[in-house]
């Protein structure tokens, strides 16, 4: 009997050691994933999107239930112009964690980039209902309306965004809605934005959303949507969208500025060194402030002919280093094109 108890005790001890070892091993794996996730996020912050994607790939290969890694990888892919991959990652996240305001916003932008205008419109309308004081949403809604041929809706959204002091809305209002200007009179600005909703409120707000159509939101008390400011026809100088300026960097690279920025002189060119095995162009849509500094730069996939992720990532980073001459005008947007001639 003593022998049996001794054997049994040894078995329990061995089992306990195995359990402890497994627990430590699992903890080490979790710590490794956490470290990798932090490193990947640092790469995102430094706009090294191609390297960030590879890091998120490692995390998801090890644990395909790491839902937040799908969101971050989707954002990295979006910045690289890989919109189909962005949508796949977001849909994977929705399967695991459901829908929230950030996800709706990303899907609206992604569907727009994929030219799925009906789906994009559904998403953006839902996003605006959830947060009617976000100028970025009115900018995207206006852009969707422009491509959808709804000029009046586009100008209304750009006008609301302008009243919310959103620079890109102001720039688009000036370029797309020539002949109109927001009246500066009392009551045109929306009231102050309400306090940010708690996570639980956001979760309850999106519970009734049917994805991916997002046709309606039921049983939600939503803040009042800002009204479009009154507009009047005025005469003002129109931005020359066809103006072009070109700067030769070296024998293999030239930079072309156009689509609204062709008349804005450059004060300082960054040092650019690009290696490519093929001829082509990489186009970047960018916006600059009145001081001439770039505050937004995104890949324009329709105008680009080279899609290598490492090159795209570099092109975006360098675009943000351009410094234009200061101007009395408010923010302006346009396109910067890298014209590459491989040797």
The share of the chain scoring above pLDDT 90, in percent, equals 36
pLDDT of residue 178: 66
The CATH number given to whatever domain includes residue 94 is 1.25.40.10
Residue 256 lies in a domain: yes
116 conformational bin, left if phi > 0, alpha if psi -120 to 50, beta if neither: beta
Q: Which residue has the higher pLDDT, 191 or 99?
A: 99
Number of domains in the chain: 3
pLDDT of residue 226: 65
User: Which domain covers residue 193, as residue numbers?
Assistant: 114-233
Rounded to an integer, the average pLDDT of 80-97 is: 93
Residue pointed to by tokens 């329709």? 302
CB 113 within 8 A of CB 83: yes
Lowest mean pLDDT among 76-80, 163-167, 224-228, 240-244: 224-228
Same domain, 192 and 282: no
Confidence of residue 21 (pLDDT cuts 50, 70, 90): very low
Q: What are the tens digits of pLDDT across the range 260-313?
A: 888 888 888 888 887 777 888 999 999 888 888 998 888 888 889 987 877 888
Rounded Cα–Cα distance for residues 115 and 326 (Å): 35
Q: Kindly state whether residues 255 and 145 are assigned to the same domain.
A: no
pLDDT at 172: 80
Span 164-182, average pLDDT: 75
Domain boundary among 198, 233, 268: 233
Please tell me whether residues 62 and 19 are part of one structural domain. yes
End-to-end CA distance of the chain: 85
130 and 85, same domain (yes or no): no
Residue 148 sits in the same domain as residue 176:
yes
How far is residue 182's CA from residue 138's CA, in Å, rounded to a whole number? 15
Q: State the pLDDT at residue 187.
A: 39
| Confidence (pLDDT) at 12 | 52
pLDDT single digits (tens) 212-223: 444 444 444 555
pLDDT value of position 341:
85
DSSP-derived secondary structure letter, 293: B
Residue 25 predicted with pLDDT over 50: no
In a domain, 275, yes or no: yes
Confidence category of residue 235, pLDDT binned at 50, 70, 90: very low
> Pick the residue with more confidence: 11 or 314?
314
Question: With bands split at pLDDT 50, 70 and 90, how would you rate the model's confidence at 232?
Answer: very low
| Higher local confidence (pLDDT), 315 or 194 | 315
Nearest to 189 by CA among 232, 225, 160: 160
Q: Between 331 and 122, where is the model more confident?
A: 122
Let me know if residue 109 belongs to a domain: no
- For 276, counting Cβ atoms within 10 Å of its Cβ (0-12 exposed, 13-18 middle, 19+ buried), the class is middle
SS3 187: coil
In a domain, 290, yes or no: yes
| Structure confidence at residue 31 as a pLDDT band (50, 70, 90) | low
21: three-class secondary structure by DSSP: helix
Average pLDDT over residues 107-130: 93
Q: Quick one: 132 and 205 in the same domain?
A: yes
DSSP letter string over 69-119? Answer: HHHHHHHHHHHTT-HHHHHHHHHHHHHHH---HHHHHHHHHHHHHTT-HHH
Are residues 251 and 229 both part of a single domain? Answer: no
pLDDT at 9: 52
| Domain stops at, among 98, 131, 156 | 98
177, 178, 234, 330 from 238: Cα distances, Å: 10, 7, 11, 13
- 29 and 135 belong to one structural domain: no
The span from the CA of 337 to the CA of 183, in Å, is 36
Tell me the mean pLDDT in the region 236-242. Answer: 62
Same domain, 71 and 160: no
Same domain for 289 and 220: no
pTM for the whole structure: 0.65
Q: Supply the CATH number for residue 258's domain.
A: 3.30.1150
pLDDT at 207 over 70: no
What lies within 8 Å, CB to CB, of 97 at 6+ separation is: 67
How many residues are listed for the chain in this entry? 343
Question: For residue 32, how many C-alpha atoms fall within 13 Å in the half-sphere facing its CB?
Answer: 12
Examine the domain organization and report whether 228 and 256 are in the same domain: no
| 211 shares its domain with 188 | yes
Look at residues 71, 98, 125 and tell me which one is the last residue of a structural domain.
98
Cα–Cα distance, 211 to 61 (Å, whole number): 26
Task: Return mean pLDDT, the chain.
Answer: 78
Who has greater pLDDT, 229 or 148?
148
């Amino acid at each position: 009997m003593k022998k049996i108890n001794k054997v049994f005790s040894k078995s329990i001890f061995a089992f306990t050691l195995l359990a402890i070892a497994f627990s430590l091993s699992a903890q080490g794996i979790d710590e490794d994933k956490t470290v990798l996730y932090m490193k990947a996020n640092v790469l995102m912050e430094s706009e090294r999107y191609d390297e960030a994607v590879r890091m998120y790939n490692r995390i998801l290969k090890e644990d395909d239930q790491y839902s937040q890694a799908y969101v971050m990888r989707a954002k990295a892919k979006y910045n690289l112009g890989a919109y189909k991959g962005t949508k796949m990652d977001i849909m994977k996240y929705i399967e695991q964690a459901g829908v929230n305001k950030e996800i709706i916003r990303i899907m609206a932008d992604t569907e727009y980039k994929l030219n799925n205008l009906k789906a994009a419109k559904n998403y953006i309308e839902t996003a605006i209902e959830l947060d009617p004081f976000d100028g970025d949403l009115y900018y995207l809604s206006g852009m969707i309306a422009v491509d959808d041929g709804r000029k009046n809706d586009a100008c209304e959204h750009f006008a609301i965004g302008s009243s919310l002091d959103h620079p890109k809305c102001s720039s688009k209002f000036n370029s797309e809605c020539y002949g109109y200007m927001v009246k500066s009179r009392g009551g045109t600005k929306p009231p102050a934005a309400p306090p940010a909703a708690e996570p639980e409120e956001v979760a309850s707000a999106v519970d009734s959303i049917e994805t991916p159509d997002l046709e309606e939101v039921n049983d939600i008390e939503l803040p009042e949507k800002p009204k479009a400011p009154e507009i009047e026809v005025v005469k003002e100088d129109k931005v020359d969208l066809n103006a072009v300026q070109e700067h030769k960097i070296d024998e293999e690279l030239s930079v072309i500025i156009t689509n609204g920025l062709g008349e804005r002189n450059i004060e300082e060119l960054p040092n650019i060194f690009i290696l490519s095995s093929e001829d082509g162009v990489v186009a970047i849509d960018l916006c600059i402030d009145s001081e001439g500094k770039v505050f937004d730069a995104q890949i324009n996939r329709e105008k680009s002919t080279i899609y290598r992720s490492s090159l795209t990532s570099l092109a975006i980073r360098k675009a943000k280093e351009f410094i234009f001459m200061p101007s009395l005008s408010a923010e302006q947007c346009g396109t910067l094109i890298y014209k590459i001639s491989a040797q």
